[in-house]
């Protein structure tokens, strides 16, 4: 009996340590101390920011789903009906569309190139802030390791903060890692105050970053990248939209003093490249011009200053899948089904009109037909003798480009009755404007009947945020606003006109006609058109038409996006033959909405945030 | 004879104890039996207490025996948390059922469905009819939290799934509702508890029982459409509305179809005028299900046993065809086994061992599923089942004359339902094994009434799948068979009859070399999270004793759970061990069963939270007063007032189930991936480290404060009733605390949510005899529950009507439909759609919505206003009526819910739903659409055919699409016949009795909801809900 008691007693006693029974050393993850215990793990924490960079050349970027940012501006049209850009952004419904690319604040997929740009930027700022807080206190790091980490962190602070303010306007200074107990209802700064913080970060970055990384680390920002972001940010800060206070949106033109600063920074950037990293100067034009956009064996072309290094990832989708260049750029004529069933980006006639003739004249398609002052312009062959960049960037109706697998030539079948437009393909697959994109598409990639072929992997292309040519264009714009088209102030070598002509000369275009360079206002349009052509689909036009505050006037009309109707003399021909002559008409693309009011110049902060915070003010009009 | 009425009783069994011989009383209550002196006669009759009579040598040959109606009901015991109590002394709010009552529902496949309408306060909702995945969702006393309302379910005292328990194995089922009953479950009990107790052996000779059920089932609802000519006319009307003139159907085509209808030249295989009623083609008129159970129950002084094996097969309503490679049918086969043993090891020691388990095979067709998770087929499942409602019916024949399948021009093979069954098969295999060992030691030698018990339970479960499929990952039904789309030119009649081919399209590819029939790929693997083992152990001390009129009982108990399982999305990596621990006590006191008091307490801990916040004490206090036992009441009203009890309880219970473990630790995770850099050679840098969600050191469970007031009564020995009134405040609901975008990380979870709920329940039962042979009974229950969010982190500057606080949990927000735009003036003068581009697409007859915030635009967020009801019923009720004549019994059970609204699926609400794909289809109510000729009697808006034009008027989320989903349904109807024992005895078959029955489930439904949908499931995207007919027999040896 006694024994029985004892057993029960012992059992009960051994069970008595409740808390420790539930103590489970959770083998779940790492603590903060573990992450910041070595250079490699600290860098592994920082490097997450590279996944946050807006990858606008990726077809699923920001879960945009086959929509390109150019489709928000007047650059391009997209027939694919299931994109947030079509259904929310271009309808002007920005406020509660958390999942929309560009404007949305949804944190779905945050931390990857599928995440929306603003939440990704907030995450990247948090990471950078933590690096800047932690690294100086880490005694195990050498000086060079600290500089390497801090240089990048300052750069990313600037870049991602700039990504936010150029979309939403001035922000509070996010210079620390927020904790849940912090006050989240911070006062917003003006754009200029915010901009100054960007410049501060970039000056730090320029100090710390190397001239060049080792080849194996090519893709991290270097000094040139910091210089380039600095001049780009400064040009933005001088632009009409950014010169507004927080509670107003008015167009009072550029701020001359700020434009001077922008010009100076651009000059410094170009001089820095010239002296220290001359390899990154503007690349030669001519036949090699196209290799700025796709290249081999190098992953990145030389004139790229700030970019995402695709580093050999061919931008395949799925294992063994077709390179996704096809998803963006080329129709596969499979009846509109699947990922390769349609070209998702077709260039608008609006942009085509900005490509001059080789002699420097405009050639415009009007409701009554082609108009050009160029005596050599031929309305029957309107795409001959154009700016060489037209040939490098654009596929026009009837153009022969690439082959079928059996060697027979492929034609761009976007004429009336052609295979890439209705009724041969359903509305969701039709090439709405008649034009397609060649800029990132080498002819070998075109083998319609064999999408999974190695020729589609001949070259690399990547997502370039700033290339040297842009710095020249930025310089030209800033100089024109600061000093006028032709003035060369002391300490400067090039006027605004010189800079533009340099960009034109590179591709074989003549200098700008003298009568256009007489005053800043006139020349402003030349600069803007030059920029639209050179930087086509490089994620600039949308921001440019906003900072110049011209979006309202571009879009405030029925059917702002235009296309071309190419009517063959013999509609039964599946491809153009010598006797098949096209006539051209301007056409509306009424499906391409661009609802844009004054309030749309700034993206709204989400209603949820606006409902919660009073100091963190909503943008005007939302 | 009946003791009180002096009426003779018919059919009383008179048996010589210890033998099989006996007889039954006749119509006059007479019986004759030959027996030896000193033998013992047992008289037994349903509803009466057995009478035993010893025959003495000098007895009169005519023996008159009086029997008394059984009033044992109050002495009946009810299973409560960690014990049993008598009904009389119960102070908690508990509803209990006998296993027989569950078996009465006969042919449903899950226990959860069988509970529908049986008990007050228990809401059971069926959402899917898929064989093997058709368990109902159970909620006890409504929702009190938006996080989870799942009750705790215990089978034989261990947490287990109840749906795969064979109802033949169930002895009783208790539902614990108030804090008094659930506080002993501490941190798990706040949403109520369901206790299932399985049958155990008896000390009698073996009783063998064999049950067999054969059932037929058919879908409850089906699609209804207009004929194609009407649909084409309506299409043209819609095309004109949308200015889509190029989409107009030529009159020649319509005329050709009209002629085809007139001449009967139509049909599912007619290649020119295909007319397919998919429901007829693809749904069997009847499909089969069957269920068998064999169990043996008996024992001796030393050992008692109950063993049972069961088999269930639930068949398919789809008319699938087995191929030589696979069988795409939906079906479920389940084997159950159980052996419960009790050993009296010594006079004071008993040992119980339960061995049980099941093996289930669920089979379904191979539509797309992502990943290895059986629940992960949402996308594929939705596409699959919806097809029955939206597949084109007049675009292509099932097969052309040349033997090729037909599909539509978009070449989506899912257009042709028969092709869906060519995709393959998936089989899910579920294996569960349970072992319970418990030892009970009577400690009377220490002090009388004390005992000790220990229990050890082990569950092992593994779930695997086999997939046989014809498609590779990727797109739904990508490639299986070659199919054609053919378009005819109805203006060109060919000489030999038929029409000229206008367009032909071969799919999946126009490559003539492609022959389809992608070879079958087979996969065999564990399901994600498909393995788990659970260990539970418990030690308890029990003390029960009466001192004079003072009755006391004490319970002290501790238990632990240790659960190991695969990670949710893994087939190889084990998750962190789940652990919890509880120390439980209960003290009850009553004086003469008249004044009752009870205290329950649980000191429970959960591994999920930080040290110091892991353990908490959950107490409950309850008192009861049995007024009917008071002398002054007993003396005056005792003759008819058999029972009257008042009870009240207050207590605190917790709930930690949905909380994520270890939120108290700030973690960083290793992303695994890296970043690629390089000039022309790729170098990868990694791994990357990511900060986890912000930690909250203070996170803990949610807490429920519950009160319950109840009255129980029994009058005239015929009417029993109970009434419960309750309220609950739920606090500390763990939810993610809002952080703005600029925080840059996901928020931490905080215990900040608060809700309140309240309700009442009534249960009433009446049972009486009309005459000697006629008996009838009526039972009913009614429950009402409503809830409100008190706090849910609403934004401070949000308009009041949009805040969660003050609204029901999961309140429905809808645009308020205020009629139709009657004219273009209305369209341009009234408020504009948020999307201004849409305004120009509106036509008269489109729905007009209320601009609630008067800002001039209809905003899909700000103009949606909270509705009174949501998709959870506030009222549920059920009633049963029964009638018996001798051994024939009839019963009917009705079940209903009300104060519930649901969204009607677009595919049955709108016409031309798939207009963009060129499918012309109109519901039978389409003639009631708004049109200029008849604007006043419109029952639905104008027709649109283009998706951009449909997007404003023909949408969900408005009060037009949100409809009353109340219903009353004849849940169960049964006629049974118990074959007279005297007849069986004469046949000398060794059979005790045979019961034959016919019954049906879901036979009638009364509802205002769209009749193409079942108001309960209310979805076209799930396997059809079914009506069942069943006949069966139970033979007892």
Judged by a CB distance cut-off of 8 A, whether residue A96 touches chain B is: yes
State whether A85 and A115 are in the same domain: yes
B576/A26 CB distance under 8 A: yes
State whether A388 and A342 are in the same domain: yes
The tens digit of pLDDT for each residue in A380-421 reads: 999 999 999 999 999 999 898 888 777 778 888 888 888 788
Judged by a CB distance cut-off of 8 A, whether residue A612 touches chain B is: yes
| Separation between Cα atoms, residue B246 and residue B948, nearest integer Å | 16
Q: C-alpha dihedral over A420, A422, A424, A430, to 10 degrees? A: 40
Rounded to the nearest 5 degrees, what angle is found at the Cα of A327, between the Cα atoms of A324 and A330?
Answer: 115
**Which residues 336-395 in chain A show a CB within 8 A of chain B?**
336-338
- Return the minimum-mean-pLDDT range out of A154-163, A460-469, B602-611, B888-897: B602-611
B739/A180 CB distance under 8 A: yes
- Return the minimum-mean-pLDDT range out of A570-579, B283-292, B658-667, B765-774: A570-579
In a domain, A567, yes or no: no
The tens digit of pLDDT for each residue in A467-514 reads: 999 999 999 999 999 999 999 999 999 999 999 999 999 999 999 999
For residue A83, the model assigns a pLDDT of 85
Does residue B140 have a pLDDT over 90?
yes
- Return the minimum-mean-pLDDT range out of A561-570, B331-340, B825-834, B962-971: B825-834
Does residue A334 have a pLDDT over 70?
no
Task: State the best of A3, A6, A13, A28 to mutate against chain B, taking most chain B CBs within 10 Å.
Answer: A28
For residue A317, the model assigns a pLDDT of 42
Q: What is the mean pLDDT of residues A542-554?
A: 97
The two structure tokens encoding residue A35: 């992450």
Higher pLDDT, B380 or B252: B252
The minimal CB distance from A44 to the residues B445, B687, B748 is found for B687
A31/B679 CB distance under 8 A: no
In chain B, pLDDT over 90 holds for what percent of residues?
A: 54
CA atoms within 13 A on the CB side of A331: 31
| Separation between Cα atoms, residue B375 and residue B130, nearest integer Å | 12
**Which stretch of DSSP H or E encloses residue A530?**
helix A520-534
CA B325 to chain centre: 34
Distance from CA of A507 to the nearest CA of B (A): 26
State whether A75 and A223 are in the same domain: no
Higher pLDDT, A29 or B486: B486
CB A300 within 8 A of CB A221: no
pLDDT, chain B, mean:
88
CB B231 within 8 A of CB B225: yes
The tens digit of pLDDT for each residue in B910-941 reads: 999 877 667 888 999 999 999 888 888 899 99
State whether A180 and A216 are in the same domain: no
Does residue B588 have a pLDDT over 70?
yes
| Separation between Cα atoms, residue B570 and residue B826, nearest integer Å | 57
Q: What is the mean pLDDT of residues B419-432?
A: 86
pLDDT, chain A, mean:
89
The minimal CB distance from A15 to the residues B558, B665, B798 is found for B558
| Separation between Cα atoms, residue B605 and residue A222, nearest integer Å | 54
CB pairs under 8 A between A and B: 211
**How sure is the predictor about B373, in pLDDT bands with cuts at 50, 70 and 90?**
low
Does residue B369 have a pLDDT over 90?
no
B483 contacts in chain A (CB < 8 Å): none
Does residue B476 have a pLDDT over 50?
no
| Separation between Cα atoms, residue B581 and residue B372, nearest integer Å | 32
In a domain, A305, yes or no: no
Distance from CA of A23 to the nearest CA of B (A): 7
Judged by a CB distance cut-off of 8 A, whether residue B456 touches chain A is: no
A311/B694 CB distance under 8 A: no
CB B732 within 8 A of CB B658: no
B738 contacts in chain A (CB < 8 Å): 608, 612
What is the value of ipTM here, to two decimals?
Answer: 0.92
**How sure is the predictor about A96, in pLDDT bands with cuts at 50, 70 and 90?**
confident
Q: Report the CATH number that the domain containing residue A275 is assigned in CATH.
A: 1.25.40.900
State whether A125 and A4 are in the same domain: yes
| Separation between Cα atoms, residue A403 and residue A442, nearest integer Å | 11
| Separation between Cα atoms, residue B987 and residue B979, nearest integer Å | 12
CA atoms within 13 A on the CB side of A414: 28
Q: Please give, one letter per residue, the 3-state secondary structure of B268-324.
A: CCCCCCECCCHHHHHECCCEEEEEEEEEEEEECCCEEEEEEEEEEEECCCECCCCCC
Higher pLDDT, B201 or B22: B201
In a domain, A295, yes or no: no
**How sure is the predictor about A318, in pLDDT bands with cuts at 50, 70 and 90?**
very low
**How sure is the predictor about A571, in pLDDT bands with cuts at 50, 70 and 90?**
low
Higher pLDDT, A44 or A460: A44
For residue A465, the model assigns a pLDDT of 97
Distance from CA of A463 to the nearest CA of B (A): 13
Q: What is the mean pLDDT of residues B656-675?
A: 85
Kindly report the number of other CB atoms within 10 A of residue B46's CB atom. Answer: 10
User: Which residue in chain B is spatially nearest to A98 when comparing CA positions?
Assistant: B741
Distance from CA of B412 to the nearest CA of A (A): 9
Distance from CA of A30 to the nearest CA of B (A): 5
In a domain, A620, yes or no: yes
B741 contacts in chain A (CB < 8 Å): 105, 107, 118-119, 122, 605-606, 609
State whether A162 and A92 are in the same domain: yes
State whether A90 and A187 are in the same domain: yes
**Could you tell me which residues come within 8 angstroms of residue A56 by beta carbon, excluding any fewer than 6 positions away?**
A68, A69, A463, A539
**Among the listed residues A122, A65, A97, A91, the one whose alpha carbon sits nearest the alpha carbon of residue A604:** A97
Judged by a CB distance cut-off of 8 A, whether residue A543 touches chain B is: no
Kindly report the number of other CB atoms within 10 A of residue B557's CB atom. Answer: 21
Of A554, A577, A604, the last residue of a domain is: A554
In a domain, A420, yes or no: yes
B745/A44 CB distance under 8 A: no
B577/A105 CB distance under 8 A: no
Does residue A333 have a pLDDT over 90?
no
Of A406, A424, A457, the last residue of a domain is: A457
Longest dimension (CA), chain A: 120
- Count of residues making up chain B: 1037
In a domain, A559, yes or no: no
For residue A570, the model assigns a pLDDT of 74
| Separation between Cα atoms, residue A133 and residue B426, nearest integer Å | 54
Higher pLDDT, B438 or A322: B438
In a domain, A571, yes or no: no
State whether A269 and A242 are in the same domain: yes
Q: Give me the domain span that covers residue A101.
A: 1-209+592-622
Judged by a CB distance cut-off of 8 A, whether residue B563 touches chain A is: no
For residue A417, the model assigns a pLDDT of 80
- Return the minimum-mean-pLDDT range out of A253-257, B207-211, B611-615, B1012-1016: B611-615
**The residue to which tokens 């999974």 are assigned:** A452
Task: Tell me how far apart the terminal alpha carbons of chain B are, to the nearest angstrom.
Answer: 29
Q: What is the mean pLDDT of residues B120-141?
A: 90
Compute CA distances A612 → A122, A235, A617, B129, B348, whole Å: 18, 34, 10, 44, 67
For residue A323, the model assigns a pLDDT of 56
Cis peptide before B493 (omega within 30 of 0): no
**Which residues 169-208 in chain A show a CB within 8 A of chain B?**
171-172, 174, 178-180, 184, 186
A47/B445 CB distance under 8 A: no
CB B856 within 8 A of CB B905: no
For residue A1, the model assigns a pLDDT of 46
The tens digit of pLDDT for each residue in B178-206 reads: 999 999 999 899 999 999 999 999 988 89
A300 contacts in chain B (CB < 8 Å): 679
Of A396, A423, A457, the last residue of a domain is: A457
**How sure is the predictor about B952, in pLDDT bands with cuts at 50, 70 and 90?**
confident
User: Which residue in chain A is spatially nearest to B746 when comparing CA positions?
Assistant: A107
Higher pLDDT, B21 or A348: A348
Q: C-alpha dihedral over B439, B445, B451, B456, to 10 degrees? A: -20
Q: Which range, A32-46, A327-341, B19-33, B564-578, has the best average confidence (pLDDT)?
A: A32-46
State whether A144 and A241 are in the same domain: no
**B823: which DSSP letter?**
S
Q: Report the CATH number that the domain containing residue A89 is assigned in CATH.
A: 1.25.40
Judged by a CB distance cut-off of 8 A, whether residue A15 touches chain B is: yes
**How sure is the predictor about A320, in pLDDT bands with cuts at 50, 70 and 90?**
very low
B680/A299 CB distance under 8 A: yes
The two structure tokens encoding residue B56: 């003495």
In a domain, A560, yes or no: no
The pTM of the full predicted model, rounded to 2 decimals, is 0.83
State whether A443 and A536 are in the same domain: no
The tens digit of pLDDT for each residue in B802-831 reads: 999 999 999 999 999 999 999 888 888 887
**How sure is the predictor about B298, in pLDDT bands with cuts at 50, 70 and 90?**
very high
**How sure is the predictor about A12, in pLDDT bands with cuts at 50, 70 and 90?**
low
CB B456 within 8 A of CB B537: yes
Q: What is the mean pLDDT of residues B499-506?
A: 84
Domain count, chain A: 3
State whether A199 and A343 are in the same domain: no
**How sure is the predictor about B479, in pLDDT bands with cuts at 50, 70 and 90?**
low
Does residue A14 have a pLDDT over 80?
no
State whether A65 and A92 are in the same domain: yes
A44/B682 CB distance under 8 A: no
**How sure is the predictor about B879, in pLDDT bands with cuts at 50, 70 and 90?**
very high
């Amino acid at each position: 009996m006694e024994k029985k008691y004892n057993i029960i007693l012992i059992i009960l006693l051994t069970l008595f340590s409740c808390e420790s029974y539930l103590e489970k050393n959770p083998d779940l993850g790492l603590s903060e101390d573990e992450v910041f215990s070595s250079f490699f793990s600290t860098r592994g924490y920082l490097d997450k920011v590279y996944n946050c960079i807006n990858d606008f050349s990726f077809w699923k970027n920001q879960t945009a789903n086959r929509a390109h940012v150019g489709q928000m501006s007047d650059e391009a049209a997209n027939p694919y009906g299931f994109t947030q850009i079509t259904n929310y952004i271009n309808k002007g419904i920005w406020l509660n569309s958390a999942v929309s690319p560009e404007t949305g604040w949804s944190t779905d997929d945050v931390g990857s190139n599928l995440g929306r740009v603003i939440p990704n930027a907030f995450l990247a700022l948090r990471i950078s802030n933590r690096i800047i807080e932690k690294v100086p206190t880490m005694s195990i790091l050498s000086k060079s390791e600290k500089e390497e980490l801090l240089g990048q962190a300052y750069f990313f602070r600037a870049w991602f903060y700039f990504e936010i303010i150029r979309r939403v306007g001035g922000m509070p200074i996010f210079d620390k890692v927020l904790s849940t107990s912090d006050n989240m209802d911070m006062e917003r700064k003006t754009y200029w105050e915010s901009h100054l913080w960007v410049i501060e970060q970039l000056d730090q970055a320029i100090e710390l970053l190397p001239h060049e990384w080792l080849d194996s680390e090519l893709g991290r920002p270097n000094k040139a990248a910091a210089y380039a972001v600095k001049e780009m940010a400064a040009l933005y800060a001088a632009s009409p939209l950014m010169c507004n206070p927080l509670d107003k949106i008015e167009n009072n033109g550029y701020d001359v003093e700020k434009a001077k600063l922008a010009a100076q920074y651009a000059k410094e950037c170009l001089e820095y490249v010239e002296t220290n990293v001359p390899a990154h100067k503007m690349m030669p034009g001519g036949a090699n011009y196209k290799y700025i956009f796709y290249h081999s064996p190098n992953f990145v072309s030389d004139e790229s200053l700030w970019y995402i290094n695709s580093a050999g990832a061919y931008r395949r989708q799925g294992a063994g899948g077709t390179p996704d260049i096809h998803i963006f750029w080329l129709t596969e004529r499979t009846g509109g089904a699947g990922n390769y069933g349609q070209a998702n980006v077709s260039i608008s006639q609006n942009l085509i009109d900005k490509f001059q003739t080789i002699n420097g004249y405009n050639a415009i398609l009007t409701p009554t037909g082609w108009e050009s002052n160029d005596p050599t312009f031929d309305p029957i062959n309107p795409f001959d003798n154009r700016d060489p960049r037209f040939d490098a960037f654009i596929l026009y109706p009837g153009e022969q480009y690439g082959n079928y697998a059996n060697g027979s030539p492929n034609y761009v079948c976007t004429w009336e009755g052609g295979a890439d437009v209705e009724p041969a393909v359903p509305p969701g697959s039709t090439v709405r404007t008649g034009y397609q994109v060649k800029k990132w598409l080498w002819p070998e990639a075109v083998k319609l009947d064999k999408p999974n072929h190695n020729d589609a992997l001949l070259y690399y292309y990547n997502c370039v945020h700033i290339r040297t040519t842009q710095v020249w264009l930025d310089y030209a714009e800033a100089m024109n606003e600061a000093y006028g088209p032709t003035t060369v102030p002391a300490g400067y070598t090039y006027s605004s006109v010189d800079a533009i002509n340099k960009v034109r000369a590179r591709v074989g275009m003549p200098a700008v006609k003298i009568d256009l360079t007489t005053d800043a206002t006139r020349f402003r349009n030349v600069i803007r058109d030059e920029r639209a052509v050179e930087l086509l689909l490089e994620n600039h036009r949308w921001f440019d038409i906003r900072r110049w505050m011209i979006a309202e006037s571009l879009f405030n009309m029925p059917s702002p996006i235009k296309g071309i109707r190419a009517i063959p003399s013999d509609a039964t021909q599946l491809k153009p033959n010598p006797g098949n002559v096209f006539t051209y008409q301007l056409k509306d693309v009424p499906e391409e909405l661009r609802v844009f009011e004054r309030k749309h110049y700034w993206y709204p902060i989400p209603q949820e945030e606006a409902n919660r915070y009073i100091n963190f003010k909503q943008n005007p009009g939302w | 004879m009946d003791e009180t009425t002096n009426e003779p009783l018919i059919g009383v069994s008179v048996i010589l104890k210890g033998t099989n011989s006996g007889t039954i009383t006749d119509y006059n209550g007479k019986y004759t039996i030959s027996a030896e002196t000193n033998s013992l006669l047992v008289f037994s009759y349903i509803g009466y207490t057995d009478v035993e009579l010893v025959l003495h040598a000098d007895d009169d040959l005519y023996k008159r025996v009086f029997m008394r109606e059984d009033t044992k009901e109050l002495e009946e015991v009810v299973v409560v948390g960690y014990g049993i109590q008598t009904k009389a002394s119960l102070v908690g709010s508990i509803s209990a059922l006998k296993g027989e009552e569950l078996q009465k529902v006969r042919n449903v496949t899950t226990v959860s469905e069988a509970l529908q309408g049986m008990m007050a306060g228990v809401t059971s909702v069926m959402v899917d009819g898929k064989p093997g995945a058709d368990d109902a969702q159970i909620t006890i006393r409504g929702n009190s939290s938006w996080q989870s309302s799942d009750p705790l379910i215990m089978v034989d005292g261990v947490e287990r799934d109840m749906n795969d328990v064979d109802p033949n194995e169930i002895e009783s089922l208790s539902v614990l509702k108030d804090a008094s009953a659930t506080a002993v479950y501490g941190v798990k009990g706040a949403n109520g508890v369901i206790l299932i107790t399985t049958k155990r052996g008896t000390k009698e000779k073996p009783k063998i029982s064999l049950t067999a059920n054969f059932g037929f089932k058919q879908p409850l609802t089906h699609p209804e459409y207009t004929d194609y000519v009407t649909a084409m006319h309506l299409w043209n009307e819609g095309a004109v509305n949308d200015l889509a003139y190029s989409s107009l159907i030529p009159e020649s085509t319509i005329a050709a179809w009209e002629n085809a209808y007139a001449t009967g030249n139509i049909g599912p295989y007619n290649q020119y005028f295909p007319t397919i009623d998919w429901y007829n083609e693809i749904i069997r008129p009847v499909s089969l299900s069957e269920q068998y159970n064999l169990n043996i129950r008996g024992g001796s002084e030393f050992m008692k046993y109950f063993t049972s094996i069961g088999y269930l097969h639930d068949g398919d309503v789809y008319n699938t065809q087995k191929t030589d490679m696979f069988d795409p049918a939906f079906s479920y086969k389940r084997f159950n086994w159980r052996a419960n043993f009790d050993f009296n090891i010594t006079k004071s020691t008993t040992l119980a061992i339960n061995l049980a388990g099941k093996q289930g095979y669920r089979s379904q067709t191979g539509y797309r599923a992502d990943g290895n998770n059986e629940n992960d087929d949402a996308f594929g499942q939705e596409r699959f089942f919806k097809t029955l409602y939206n597949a084109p019916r007049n675009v292509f024949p099932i097969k052309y004359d040349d033997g090729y399948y037909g599909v539509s021009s978009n070449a989506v093979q899912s257009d042709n339902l028969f092709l869906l069954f060519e995709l393959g098969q998936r089989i899910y295999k579920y294996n569960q094994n349970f072992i319970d060992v418990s030892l009970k030691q009577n400690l009377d030698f220490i002090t009388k009434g004390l005992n000790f018990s220990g229990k050890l339970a082990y569950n092992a479960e593994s779930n695997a799948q086999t997939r046989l499929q014809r498609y590779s990952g990727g797109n739904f039904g990508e490639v299986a068979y070659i199919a054609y789309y053919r378009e005819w030119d109805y203006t060109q009649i060919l000489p030999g009859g038929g029409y000229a081919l206008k367009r032909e399209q071969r799919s999946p590819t126009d490559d003539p070399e492609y022959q389809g029939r992608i070879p079958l790929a087979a996969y065999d693997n564990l399901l994600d999270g498909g393995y788990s083992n659970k260990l539970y152990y418990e030690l308890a001390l029990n003390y029960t004793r009466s001192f004079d009129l003072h009755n006391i009982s004490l319970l002290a108990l501790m238990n632990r759970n240790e659960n190991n399982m695969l990670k949710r999305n893994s087939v190889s990596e084990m998750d962190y061990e789940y652990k919890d621990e509880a120390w439980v006590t209960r003290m009850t006191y009553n004086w003469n069963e008249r004044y009752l008091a009870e205290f329950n307490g649980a000191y429970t801990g959960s591994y999920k939270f930080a040290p110091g916040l892991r353990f908490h004490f959950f107490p409950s206090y309850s008192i009861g007063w049995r007024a009917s036992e008071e002398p002054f009441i007993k003396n005056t009203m005792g003759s008819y007032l058999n029972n009257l009890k008042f009870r009240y309880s207050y207590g605190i219970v917790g709930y930690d189930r949905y909380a994520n473990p270890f939120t108290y630790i700030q973690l960083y995770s290793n992303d695994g991936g890296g970043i690629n850099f390089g000039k022309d050679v790729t170098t990868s840098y990694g791994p990357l480290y990511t900060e986890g969600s912000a930690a909250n050191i203070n996170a803990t469970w949610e807490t429920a404060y519950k009160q319950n007031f109840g009255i129980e009564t029994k009058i005239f020995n015929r009417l029993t009733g109970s009434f419960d009134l309750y309220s609950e405040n739920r606090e500390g609901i763990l939810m993610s605390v809002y952080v703005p975008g600029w925080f840059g990380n996901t928020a931490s979870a905080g215990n900040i949510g608060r809700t309140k709920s309240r309700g009442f329940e009534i249960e009433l039962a009446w049972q009486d005899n009309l005459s000697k042979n006629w008996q009838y009974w009526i039972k009913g229950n009614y429950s009402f529950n409503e809830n409100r969010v008190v706090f849910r982190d609403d934004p401070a500057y949000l308009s009041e009507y949009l805040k969660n606080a003050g609204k029901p949990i999961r309140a429905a927000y809808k645009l308020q439909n205020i009629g139709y735009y009657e004219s273009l003036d209305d369209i341009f003068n009234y408020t504009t759609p948020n999307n201004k581009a849409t305004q120009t697409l509106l036509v008269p007859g489109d729905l007009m919505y209320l601009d609630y915030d008067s800002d001039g635009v209809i905003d899909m967020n700000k103009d949606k206003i909270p509705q009174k009801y949501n998709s959870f019923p506030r009222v549920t009720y059920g009633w049963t009526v029964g009638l018996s004549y001798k051994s024939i019994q009839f019963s009917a059970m009705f079940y209903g819910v009300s104060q519930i609204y649901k969204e009607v699926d677009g595919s049955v609400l709108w016409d031309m739903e798939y207009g963009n794909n060129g499918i012309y289809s109109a519901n039978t109510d389409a003639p009631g659409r708004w049109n200029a000729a008849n604007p006043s009697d419109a029952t639905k808006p104008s027709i649109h055919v283009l998706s951009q034009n449909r997007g404003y008027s023909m949408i969900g989320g408005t009060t037009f699409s949100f409809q009353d989903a109340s219903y009353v349904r004849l849940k169960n109807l049964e006629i049974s016949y118990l074959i007279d024992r005297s007849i069986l005895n004469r046949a000398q078959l060794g059979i005790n009795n045979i019961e034959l029955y016919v019954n049906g489930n879901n036979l009638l439904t009364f509802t205002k909801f769209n009749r193409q949908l079942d108001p309960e499931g209310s979805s076209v995207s799930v396997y059809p809900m079914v009506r069942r007919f069943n006949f069966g027999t139970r033979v007892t040896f």
